[in-house]
Amino acid sequence: MQWFCSLDTALQALLASLFMYAMTTLGASFVFFSGRIGKNFLTALTGAAAGIMIAASFFSLLLPALEYDTPLPDGLAVTIAFFLGGAFIVLSDLALSRAQFRFTAIGDSKSALLYFAVTLHNIPEGMAVGVAFAQAAGAEGAAVSALLLAFGIGVQNFPEGMCVAFPLRQKGLSPVRSFLFSQGSGAVEIPACVLGAVAAAAIAGLMPWALAFSAGAMIAVVCSELIPECFSGNKTVASAGVVLGFCLMMILDVAFG
């Protein structure tokens, strides 16, 4: 631990972000076993992805955002940012639908929205870890807290890796493409974490806005894409998946948040 504390803050953040990225990659790798999975199980996994994203939006994004001080009255900045995040996804969906633009690499515009929302939410999470390491400033006790934060987000990234890969697989992408896009959604945490450590003072002021904006975007995608997708099949299986996914992410957030 003393060795880790002696490292430069940016290097600490880099090592922590590599762990978080590795956990996303590990979760995404499970898509290679989906070829032998039945339709009902894929429906359950898509429902679980929806539950995971709903829980992550609340416990990983909105609650931490509310802990930051802002010049606006309590909760107003978070509410505005949440609304803007949701509106951004809704307007993006309308624009893509009218333009009839085809995302040939990632499947379609709906898949692109899902991927973008999850990737977007990883950016403020990575920044939050970087800011935590910068605030630790070599103090061993504070560094342990920053490490625990990185570990908690890393553990959460494991099911999040699956929550991107499996819906993409269900939409027709190959296991390899689903894996590559899913692990790519976690790769953004690496530069975001280092940036957070280097520019801690400036980033800290933007954190509540970034966290709440990402939460709004994720909820909009869940409501417009994942929920209709999984409930078009077996509603009982889909409901069970949503509940189990939410419970899993809630436990991980409470335990490691």
Four-CA torsion 110, 193, 23, 256, nearest 10 degrees: -100
For residue 104, pLDDT over 60 is answered with: no
pLDDT of residue 79: 94
pLDDT tens across 188-241, in order?
999 988 988 887 767 777 788 888 888 888 888 788 877 887 888 788 998 998
pLDDT of residue 108: 59
pLDDT classification of 26: cutoffs 50, 70, 90: very high
Most confident of the following: 35-49, 147-161, 177-191: 177-191
pLDDT grade for 152, boundaries at 50, 70 and 90: confident
